[in-house]
Amino acid sequence: MPTQIHSRLSIFANEPFTDFAQPREEQAMRAAIANTRAGLGRSYASSFSTGEGAAERIVSVNPAGPDEVIGVHYGSPAEVDEAMRRAEDVFAEWSRTDTATRTGLLRRAAAKLREAKHTFSAWLVLEAGKNWVEADADTAEAIDFLEFYALQAERLAESAPAIQYPGEVDKLRHLLLGPGVVLPPWNFPLAILAGMTCAAIVAGNTVVLKPSPLAPTIGRLFVDLLRECGIPEGVVNLLQGGASVGAELVAHPRARFIAFTGSKRAGLEIHARAAHSLPQQHWIKRTILELGGKDAIVVDRDADLDLAAQGIVASAFGFSGQKCSACSRLIVHEDVYEHVLQAVVEKTATLAWGDPAENHAVTPVIDETAYRRILGYAADAPRQGRVIAGGNALTPPEQGYYVAPTIVADVDSASPLAQEEIFGPVLAAIKATSFGDALRIANGTPYGLTGAVYSSSEEHLERAAEEFHVGNLYLNRKCTGAMVGAHPFGGFNLSGTDSKAGGEDYLLHFTQAKSIARRLL
């Protein structure tokens, strides 16, 4: 059943996932992919053009067939100042727009995205390499973010201090920050992009949005949708580009905040750069960071082993492990270790690989850089453990960036396979001598994003709830698939600032609270 949050202001329910087993939905999705393919290869003009000759040319390709160009975009660090100035100029008017207008625009965008659900999912299939199920979930989550943040903005507008001091009227207002920067990732190029952008603007801020250069077209289409829904030009300022554009945005003295989702390395660089205050900057830039993970699933000796194996395979190899929440470590009690490994290998062997447009389970990784990095880990795996599945490329790179789901057994918990975020379909299996030993291993990385425990012991589940140090813990279910509203998302340690996207407190990151006390005369 969908999660529902009731309020006198509104009701929220998660967007249902599409059942592609229904012939009507299957036909609709195939038609959407065909229609989308007919529009591939376009050049998209920059909103802040300094002339295409002076700008970086960003060519987006299909990771399932790199000779198929999705779109061509242009961006340059020279455009950053103009984009930030426009965001600052429009902020003066947008900040005075009432909450009802802002939330109404977000709900209109959610409705329009719902109408175009298969179309956006088709773009996700072709540009990000997602199969139908993963693409549909991405689009559904984007709809959820729009609806949920509209509701939270309404609630925030009516917030008040918990106590009224005698002889006073006390109020608490959540003020806007100003123009900011949104830097979303390529792996959820619609949902996370939409969530970070719309949380900022529904709170009353304006943004400069730089999509990932690996999935720029989806970002462009979403901004076009916002404008079609009536969100004024300049509220969301699209600026395409790579790392150099991102660095200029982070360093810009007019940026009030930076919302970023991506790697630990890039996030820490952003955090450090944002802390540097320039003479004309009279505020501390706020950073909202959701970084990587080295996520673990723990299987106890008394767990439902078939249920655990299903969850492990889904968590490790869904979207080829390209999720910050993906399971990359499997920690199993020694009494059931071999049984679990066998079950996971058997289930993995049933996963068919191929073109995401045909809805295969195993899809390509995002680009050749990722392809070669992951294969580098796979090549070194025999020195760190026992390769019991995969370890190889499925195609040469010119035919698509396909890597076989890889399982490495008997890995030492301190080895690179157990410590470094690979961001691909590589699972390191580690044997634990006890449940306590399993928790020790699970907590033994610099990260703390997601984790899962399969156990029939209430005592052990309660212990995990207290001791497994992650921002999102799942008991007797997979460690991916956070639902907006039900599972506020964000991690501990070097997994970020525990931002809790899709939670009731997320909009607070984009506001500043002002306490107003008036003495009664």
pLDDT one-digit tens code per residue, 9-34? 458 999 999 999 999 999 999 999 99
- Asked if the model's pLDDT at residue 8 lies above 50, the reply is no
pLDDT band at 7 (very low <50, low <70, confident <90, very high): very low
Position with higher pLDDT, 8 vs 164: 164
Which amino acid, one-letter code, is at 456?
S
- For every residue of 170-220, DSSP letters joined together read EEEEEEE--SEEEE--SSSTTHHHHHHHHHHHHTT--EEE---TTSHHHHH
Q: Pick the residue with more confidence: 233 or 54?
A: 233
The rounded percent of the chain whose pLDDT value lies above 70 is 97
Q: Does the structure show a pLDDT above 80 at 389?
A: yes
Side-by-side strand order, sheet with 406-409: 386-389, 406-409, 426-432, 327-333, 295-299, 450-454, 472-475
**Tens-digit pLDDT profile for residues 135-148:** 999 999 999 999 99
List the domain boundaries for the chain.
4-291+499-515, 295-483
- Of the listed ranges 46-60, 113-127, 287-301, 507-521, the least confidently predicted one is 46-60
The type of residue at 262 is G
Same CATH fold, 295-483 and 4-291+499-515? no
Inform me whether the pLDDT recorded for 402 exceeds 60: yes
Give, rounded to a whole angstrom, the gap between the first and last alpha carbons of the chain: 53
What is the pLDDT confidence band of residue 406, given thresholds at 50, 70 and 90?
Answer: very high
Phi, psi for 306 (deg, rounded to 5)? -70, -40
Percent of the chain with pLDDT over 90: 93
> Does residue 110 register a pLDDT over 70?
yes
Predicted pLDDT of residue 5: 46
383 C-beta neighbours (distance < 10 Å), count: 9
pLDDT (average), residues 218-242: 97
| Rounded Cα distance, 131 and 129, in Å | 7
Query: What's the whole-number mean pLDDT along residues 91-120?
Result: 97
| pLDDT number for residue 50 | 53
- Residue range 239-249: mean pLDDT, rounded: 96
74-78, 115-119, 432-436, 462-466, range with the lowest pLDDT? 74-78
Q: Which residues contact 26 (CB under 8 A, 6 or more apart)?
A: 20
Token pair in block for residue 18 = 């599409």
Q: How far apart are CA 73 and CA 241, in angstroms?
A: 8
Residue 47's pLDDT is: 78
pLDDT at 192: 98
Residue 2 binned pLDDT confidence (cut-offs 50, 70, 90): very low
Q: Is the dihedral of CA 232, 122, 350, 365 positive or negative?
A: negative
- Its pTM stands at 0.96
Contacts of residue 383, Cβ cutoff 8 Å, sequence gap at least 6:
none
Beta-carbon-side half-sphere exposure of residue 298 (alpha carbons within 13 Å):
32
**Confidence at residue 161, expressed as pLDDT on a 0 to 100 scale:** 84
pLDDT at position 3 = 46
Report the candidate in 30, 32, 15, 183 with the shortest Cα–Cα distance to residue 114.
Answer: 15
When pLDDT is averaged across residues 241-248 and rounded to a whole number, the result is 96
Catalogue the active-site residues: 290, 324
In this prediction, residues 174-186 reach a mean pLDDT of 97
What pLDDT digit, counting tens, does each position of 317-344 carry? 999 999 999 999 999 999 999 999 999 9
pLDDT of residue 86: 97
Tell me what the mean pLDDT of segment 482-509 comes to. Answer: 97
109 contacts 231 by C-beta, under 8 angstroms:
yes
Task: Please give the average per-residue pLDDT across 27-42, as a whole number.
Answer: 97
- C-alpha to C-alpha distances, 374 to 8, 67, 500, nearest whole angstrom: 50, 21, 29
pLDDT at residue number 45:
86
On the question of pLDDT at 481 being above 70, the answer is yes
Residues in the chain: 521
| 517 or 3, greater pLDDT | 517
| Two tokens, residue 469 | 């140090």
Tokens 């309660």 belong to 462
Residue-averaged pLDDT of the chain: 95
Query: What band does 157 get if pLDDT is binned at 50, 70 and 90?
Result: very high
CATH architecture of 295-483: 3-Layer(aba) Sandwich (3.40)
Beta bridge partners of 496: 290
For residue 439, give both structure tokens.
Answer: 């928790």
Identify the residue whose tokens are 């991916």: 480
Architecture of domain 4-291+499-515 in this structure: 3-Layer(aba) Sandwich (3.40)
Over residues 388-403, the mean pLDDT reads: 98
Q: What is the DSSP string of 29-81?
A: HHHHHHHHHTTTTEEE--TT-S-GGGSEEEEEEETTEEEEEEEEEEE-GGGHH
Higher-pLDDT residue of 53, 384: 384
> pLDDT confidence of 159, banded at 50, 70, 90?
confident
Q: What pLDDT score was predicted for residue 54?
A: 61
Residue 9 has a pLDDT of: 46
